[in-house]
Chains A and B, each alone.
Chain A
Amino acid sequence: MSEQIQHFHSCQEVMDYICAQFGDDESSARCRELQQHLSKCPDCSSYCDSIEKMIGLYRATSPCFTEEARRTLLESLGISERD
């Protein structure tokens, strides 16, 4: 069955779609059309890029769960390392 494509008519529509689908299956026909649009539209491309960078920054500024925090957690659950 062929996929019915609803074409994008404006950058806003593209952005709405990106907002709904960001990170989803990129092999769909609509996603391929989106990629084509992005390659030609600097505004949409910048928008996507900034969202990706924002997510990257958010992830990169999160610390790790430390060994000390792990020990404290196990103690609070009444579990010692020797169990």
Chain B
Amino acid sequence: MSTEEETQIIEKAKQGDPRAISKLVDEYAPVIFRFSYSICRNQDRAEHATQETFLSILKKLDQFDNRSKFSTWLYTIVSNHCLMLARSEKTRRTVSLDDEENTIPEIPIDHWQHDPGAAVESADLKEHLDAAIDKLAPDYKVIFVLRDIEGLSTEEVANITNLSIPAVKSRLHRARAFLRNELSPIFSEQES
């Protein structure tokens, strides 16, 4: 979809045109779902988050003024929604990486010879990945997903999360190191 076409569809959607809204769903619901799933790693919850985010988007569509990219605006809404959901789940225990005391221990750099593509077929590995992600604090998860999974620039991530660029870089570094450390023993096991 070109930017011009997108602008026209958004204007029509603001007027409540069902075809325009349907086009926005076709274009962006898979993106919002993928993002939500990357955060919560649960299909039902991700579908629910997608639904809630779209309802919110339609309510706030009048506030979108084309000053930022529409996708950036969407990521801001879905990020806030996912963070709100995660914070409301008080039963979950995540690892805070904010304190210097909680620095990630340096583990020896090992070689990951196992191919993650093939690992997808292993339910066991997926469980380990989900468990590692589940431990990561939501604020860090959002940065990691926006930057590494969705491939946004550091500047875009800073805008979406309302953080400074150095803060985004620092959180990304910690999130990557944490996940890598969590997964390293599993990949080592797979090799042996």
The complex places the Cα of A53 from the Cα of B129 at a distance, in Å, of: 12
**Residue of A46, A56, A77, A79 ringed by the most chain B CB atoms within 10 A:** A77
The complex places the Cα of A26 from the Cα of B117 at a distance, in Å, of: 24
A56-B109 in contact given A61-B129, A83-B18 (Cβ < 8 Å): no
Interface residue? B116 (CB, 8 A): yes
Q: Are A61 and B120 in contact (CB under 8 A)?
A: yes
A56-B116 in contact given A61-B126, A83-B22 (Cβ < 8 Å): yes
Interface residues, chain A, with chain B CB atoms under 8 Å away = 16, 19-20, 22-24, 43, 46-47, 49-51, 53-65, 69-70, 72-74, 76-77, 79-80, 83
A83-B19 in contact given A53-B116, A54-B180, A73-B25 (Cβ < 8 Å): yes
Interface residue? B14 (CB, 8 A): no
**20 pairs, A vs B, C-beta closer than 8 Å:** A19-B176, A23-B147, A43-B109, A46-B109, A50-B109, A50-B184, A53-B116, A54-B180, A57-B125, A58-B38, A58-B129, A60-B117, A63-B43, A65-B50, A69-B29, A76-B51, A76-B54, A77-B21, A77-B54, A80-B18
Q: A57-B116, A57-B120, A65-B29 are in contact. List 10 more A-B contacts (CB 8 A).
A: A50-B109, A50-B110, A50-B184, A54-B176, A61-B126, A62-B34, A62-B37, A73-B47, A77-B54, A83-B22
Q: Are A54 and B179 in contact (CB under 8 A)?
A: yes
Interface residue? B87 (CB, 8 A): no
Q: Are B112 and A49 in contact (CB under 8 A)?
A: yes
Q: Of the candidates B29, B112, B184, B187, which one forms a contact with A73 in the assembled complex, judged by CB atoms under 8 Å apart?
A: B29
Neighbouring A residues of B163 by C-beta, 8 Å:
none
Q: Are B169 and A19 in contact (CB under 8 A)?
A: yes
Q: How far is the CB of B179 from chain A (nearest CB, A)?
A: 6
Q: Are A20 and B169 in contact (CB under 8 A)?
A: yes
Neighbouring A residues of B98 by C-beta, 8 Å:
none
A50-B129 in contact given A19-B176, A22-B148, A59-B149 (Cβ < 8 Å): no
Q: How far is the CB of A83 from chain B (nearest CB, A)?
A: 4
